[in-house]
Amino acid sequence: MTQPSAVWSLSGFGDEVDPDPTVQAAVLLALGASHIEVRSAWGTNVSELEWDAVQRLKAILDENGLKVSAVASPIGKVDVSLPVEHEVTRLRQIISVAKTLETTYVRIFSFYRGEGQSQEAIRDAVMERMSALAAEAAAHGIVLLHENEKGIYGDTPDRVLDIMETVDSPALRVAWDNANFVQVGVKPYTEGYAILRPYLEYLQVKDAIATTGEVVPAGEGDGELDATISALAADGYTGFASLEPHLASAHELGGYSGPVAFGIAARAFAGLAAKNGVSLA
């Protein structure tokens, strides 16, 4: 085991632990996390949280000394046929949540296509919407993190790169998810790391088995997590590593693991990090 040469901030999707933010905070703190990624609280998605609930959430996190690494929004997880303003309007609400929770990062996606449509057919519409979202974020000092979710336009390294190069905004960066790449037939590190590293600003920790798509703890699948962590450490990455285990179930707006499985996922990742000289704080 090598001596730590890099320090990453450990975070995790709180709602993968439990719907209650108090339980979320307790488990994340027990696992050594300094941050939490907020996708839902009390069973309500962050895009639909009322103002008083956001304030209550902030108070709970403050009491526990947890900071927010990112707001994991569902922006862009809709059909591309919806008007541009549809998601821009939703983003404005999410930005107000992010400001209240004192984070500059908001996770987003790059739109689904209609039945029978090709990815190429929706490209221009995707770029128009992603550019509008990036402009809105930039105006408020927010950085959007595009997650390579299966089924959206940006589900492969080449198309994620297309988005980054076309939108060309410092307010749009990459949230890298190894498992999601595996689930669309990509070898993440081998086929995507070199071209996307210039835009990679956030690491979501998941692994998956190529033959089945099943999500597994870090290092137990085909996500090339070991190589990815090693390369990021060598490249001087000092950002967030956010646990998103999906070990019990996954659905359209997220997933669930429970405290025990979440702990298993956290320890698996910690082992890989330590092996590659990365200290988690």
Mean pLDDT over residues 69-85, rounded?
98
Q: What is the mean pLDDT of the chain?
A: 94
Min mean pLDDT across 71-80, 155-164, 256-265 is at 256-265
Residue type, 16: E
Give me the percent of the chain exceeding a pLDDT of 90.
92
pLDDT at site 249: 55
pLDDT at site 245: 81
Mean pLDDT over residues 137-151, rounded?
98
What is the C-alpha R_g of the chain?
17
pLDDT at site 224: 98
Burial class (CB in 10 A: 0-12, 13-18, 19+), 106: buried
Q: How confident is the model at residue 259 (pLDDT cuts 50, 70, 90)?
A: confident
Model's pTM, two decimal places?
0.95
pLDDT at site 47: 94
Mean pLDDT over residues 168-180, rounded?
98
- Give me the sign of the Cα torsion angle 65, 57, 149, 159: negative
Q: How confident is the model at residue 207 (pLDDT cuts 50, 70, 90)?
A: very high
Mean pLDDT over residues 6-22, rounded?
96
Mean pLDDT over residues 238-242, rounded?
97
pLDDT at 66 > cutoff 70: yes
pLDDT at site 1: 47
Strands 35-38 and 67-72, by their bridges, are parallel
pLDDT at 256 > cutoff 80: no
